[in-house]
Amino acid sequence: MKKLAFLTVVAGIAFSCSQPSKTTQVMNPFFETYTTPYEVPPFDKILNAHYLPAFQEGMKQHNAEIEAIVSTAETPGFANTIEALDRSGELLTKVSSVFFNVKEANTNDSINAIAEEVAPLLSQHTDAILLNEALFARVKAVYKQKDNLGLNAEQARLLNETYKNFVRGGANLAADKKEELKKVNEELSLLELKFDKNLLAETNAFKLVIDKQEDLAGLPENVMAGAADEAKAAGMEGKWVFTLQKPSWIPFLTYAENRDLREQLYKAMFNRANNGNENDNKAIINQFVNLRLKKANILGYESWSAYVLDDTMAQKPENVYNLLQKVFNPAIARAKEEVSDMQKMAESEGGKFKIESWDWWYYAEKVRKAKYDLDEEQLRPYFEVNNVRDGAFTVATKLYGLTFTKLENMPLYHPECQVFEVKDADGSLIGVVYVDFFPRESKKGGAWMTNYREQYTAADGNNVRPVVSLTCNFSKPVGDKPALLSYDEVETFFHEFGHGLHGLLSQCTYVSLAGTNVSRDFVELPSQIMEHWAAEPEVLKMYAKHYQTGEVIPQELIDKMEKAGKFNQGFVTSEFIAAAFLDMDFHTVNMPGEFDVNEFEKKSMKKIGLINEIIPRYRPTYFAHAFSWGYSSGYYSYTWAEVLDADAFNAFKETGDIFNQEVAKSFRTNVLERGNTDEPMKLYLNFRGKEPGIEPLLKNRGLL
């Protein structure tokens, strides 16, 4: 998941801008109450020209709200300081949530230019709150009397989190250190934009153009048809084009018999933003590492990881390294066995070469076919994208009583979007969810969930329901065929839908604690537990239906899926854990200085014993999770949360009913509805009654 965060702790600066004229206010949708169904953003009326004035006015209004908190003659209290702060910045949040989400999903040069102008202003704006001495004095005054205020559990959590965020934001620093911190934060905000801009440009720039039919040998018909469509869209009708989007390059690497072309496409993928051109990210990574270290040192931490992890379940870098090593050791041992199987397969076909990383997908698929008589392409016809979507919805219906109704004629940020109303079993509104399935040049890679509006309880007691978005990059429709997904894409949708449920089912008072506003190593629990249902035979029979005949997936295929379910887990786990190690190594650097990014990666991977046939899932120059998506020192969190989700799903399995209503109700009320209203492990213990161990994770991956 990539969850976009906007001013979770909001503050103000004296930003000089004139009051918009009444005419401008009327014409700018952000200055009006949305009159759309469910008050979703009026995407059809929002122009790029509306963003900057709305940002400016939002900061101006926010400044006034902060000044009102600071200047009141009332004694600092929970309501007039902590609660007032949480409720401030409504307009700024309103425009930010639309702008940054649209930028991720449907950007253009104008939006990118606005982002570069706005990013430092927002950094300054946030810093001014966290470093506002008068405001922090009030927060501290309330915090000191917290035990005497009669606060309920959620209020106490908000007070603790608010105070902690100010301290972590530099409120206790000396004046000169505060100025240093401001500059670092501003530089970091711009680096994130540059990193993403370079990566998107590199991803879009490369095309493998094939004009000889024989070079397509081995490729399934639908893959060739998709490449022909891609070529036609690029003005090269009669040829075939493969891109660096996953739905394009992964099938090519899996099935193309031409080893040289596989190598060419693969190297283009793993060398993105690492080619010494204007889109190269190596210098930016140097700046990231040094600036993050500088910020951590200013705040009293020896490394960026130490700073980040101090606010997570893991708490310390050594705890993360310990977990990663426990998973990596059995994974790499299994991966070596997998390499041996593939080498034998290659040699049996007359290959006189050593298996390389660009061979893995191709020969792994051959070994799987030989061992389990299962081909990925046998499964695709049963995973039509809308059926998969409905399958996830059905799981939520059976677990939580939710219903999903497609909405027509809704404002959309892109024509391909779908929109659904979500209601509870009693008919009350849960929220609205947008779904955006397919890749395009204006969209970042990957898949993520985010919000256009968070859930919270307004000052008048109204329970404001969320507007959630699930954004993916899945296999497109080809010719007269609908979009048919790989099983990996199926799991990805269930994953993001799990995040969506976390946001949708939130029942919190305060917006900064609501939904997915939890620590990184807890936020992946609701998403990853959903993946378990995707492969359950009972669930497969609900949604896996042949796109032409409507035939439910046959038991024979389900049996093969189950037998092959743990196949290739040495590779999958090793490449993932390798990336998590790499993320940690970059951010446990404790001495400033310039370094060679590629050499740093080599040393990092040599240290853990990664074999040459595997590279990290993300090499540094396109490792957006670590450098621009908010997961720095946090990529491990998927594995940390997998310890939780494997144990949590066992709570259902132990009852003999994967839709057990008692367990589902407990998970909903103790985890999904609670957001960040208590310590994550306490929330988990309230659900499960015990702490999890690592064994279920290793068992699920077949690594015990």
d(CA 465, CA 430): 6
Q: Which of 414, 410, 368, 418 is nearest to 388 (CA)?
A: 418
In residues, how long is the chain? 704
Element (H, E) at 12: none
Element (H, E) at 242: strand 240-242
What letters, b where the CB count within 10 A reaches 16 and e where it falls short, cover 336-374? eebbebbbebbeeeeeeeebebbbbbbbbbbbbeeebeb
Hey, is 555 helix, strand or coil?
A: helix
Residue located via tokens 């497609």: 406
Tell me the chain's radius of gyration from C-alpha atoms. 25
Tokens of 582: 């790499």
Concatenate the DSSP letters of all residues of 186-237 into one string.
HHHHHHHHHHHHHHHHHHHH--EEE--GGGGTT--HHHHHHHHHHHHHTT-T
For residues 430 and 453, the answer to whether their CB atoms sit within 8 Å is: no
Q: Return the HEC string of 336-359.
A: HHHHHHHHHHHHHCCCCCCCCHHH
Find the catalytic residue in 202, 489, 496, 575. Answer: 496
496 is catalytic: yes
Distances (CA, A) of 33 to 30, 37, 43, 92: 8, 12, 14, 14
Sheet with 448-453: strands ordered across:
403-406, 418-423, 429-436, 467-471, 448-453
d(CA 441, CA 202): 11
Element (H, E) at 572: helix 569-587
For residues 533 and 291, the answer to whether their CB atoms sit within 8 Å is: no
Write out the E strands in 443-509: 448-453, 456-457, 463-464, 467-471
Q: For strand 240-242 and strand 403-406, is the pairing parallel, antiparallel, or unpaired?
A: unpaired
329: exposed, middle or buried (Cβ count in 10 Å: 0-12, 13-18, 19+): middle
Q: For strand 240-242 and strand 208-210, is the pairing parallel, antiparallel, or unpaired?
A: antiparallel
Give residue 461's Cα distance to chain centre: 31
d(CA 180, CA 175): 9
Q: Which of 695, 687, 597 is nearest to 648 (CA)?
A: 687
Q: Which of 403, 579, 433 is nearest to 499 (CA)?
A: 433
In eight-state DSSP terms, residue 148 is G
Concatenate the DSSP letters of all residues of 410-454 into one string.
---SSTT-EEEEEE-TTS-EEEEEEEE----TTS-SS-EEEEEE-
For residues 199 and 342, the answer to whether their CB atoms sit within 8 Å is: no
Residue located via tokens 């839908």: 497
d(CA 53, CA 540): 49
- The catalytic site residues sit at 496
